[in-house]
């Protein structure tokens, strides 16, 4: 029987990360509120909705501004998280070992730990080491994170209603800036993201993400 000894402190579809900061968000005076039947968001005054539409259980559309284009989806039936995986989400998949000694690794007991300074000298591209045990055999496997994950910052937090996953690139203009929100009491989930945003627009997007409110919470 396969065993996974590595216990993830956070897995988006299970446990949660840190408590979400619920303090009031300070919004610039020249921002506006955009609203649909299901959610509202505050954005810079020159950002607008484009092409919102969909079905009773799912809507999608865009928020656009000068040099800014972000797509959004809200679905009450199916998961729609298309943001890059967090490191912990990636490690919980089989993607890091499926190309290497697949049978041996898949059947082995695994314990995953951050790479040590000494190990980094031997495996400079690795971020983690998997310690493997299969019967009497033991071994290690260095784990390199995919570029699209290594290039991103991630923040995962929650409150009593939602789990929030926010990501933005470590180098502004080169990656995904987005938020994924999952309800803790229903199948409702929401995503809003854009690619390669300039630093100013990235900062505006991250602030706007904090203002997303769902209409059923305001009734």
Domains and CATH numbers, the chain: 31-84+148-217 (3.40.1000), 96-145 (no CATH)
Look at residue 11 and tell me whether its pLDDT is greater than 70: no
pLDDT computed for residue 164 by the predictor: 97
Task: Note the pLDDT of residue 151.
Answer: 96
Longest dimension (CA), the chain: 66
The predicted model scores a pTM of 0.83
- Residues paired with 166 in a beta bridge: 155, 179
Which helix H or strand E contains 38, and what residues bound it?
Answer: none
What are the b/e assignments for 27-38, b being 16+ CB within 10 Å? beeebeebebeb
DSSP 8-state symbol, 115: P
Q: Is the pLDDT confidence value at 7 over 50?
A: no
**Per-residue pLDDT for 219 more than 80?**
no
């Amino acid at each position: 029987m396969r065993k996974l000894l590595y216990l993830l402190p956070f897995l988006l579809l299970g446990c949660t990360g840190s408590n979400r900061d619920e303090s009031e968000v300070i919004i610039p005076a020249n921002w506006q509120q955009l609203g649909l039947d299901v959610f509202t968001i505050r954005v810079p005054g020159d950002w607008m909705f484009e092409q919102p539409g969909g079905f009773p259980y799912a809507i999608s559309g865009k928020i656009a501004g000068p040099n800014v284009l972000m797509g959004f989806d809200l679905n009450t039936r199916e998961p729609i998280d298309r943001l890059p995986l967090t490191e912990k989400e990636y490690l919980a998949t089989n993607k890091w070992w499926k190309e290497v000694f697949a049978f041996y690794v898949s059947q082995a007991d695994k314990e995953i730990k951050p790479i040590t300074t000494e190990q980094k000298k031997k495996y400079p591209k690795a971020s983690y080491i998997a310690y493997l045990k299969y019967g009497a055999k033991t071994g290690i496997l260095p784990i390199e994170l995919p570029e699209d994950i290594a290039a991103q910052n991630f923040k995962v937090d929650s409150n009593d209603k939602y789990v929030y996953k926010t990501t933005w690139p470590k180098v502004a203009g080169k990656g995904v800036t987005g938020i994924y929100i999952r309800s803790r009491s229903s199948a409702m989930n929401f995503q809003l993201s854009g690619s390669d945003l300039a630093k100013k627009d990235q900062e505006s997007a991250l602030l706007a993400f904090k203002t997303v409110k769902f209409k059923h919470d305001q009734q």
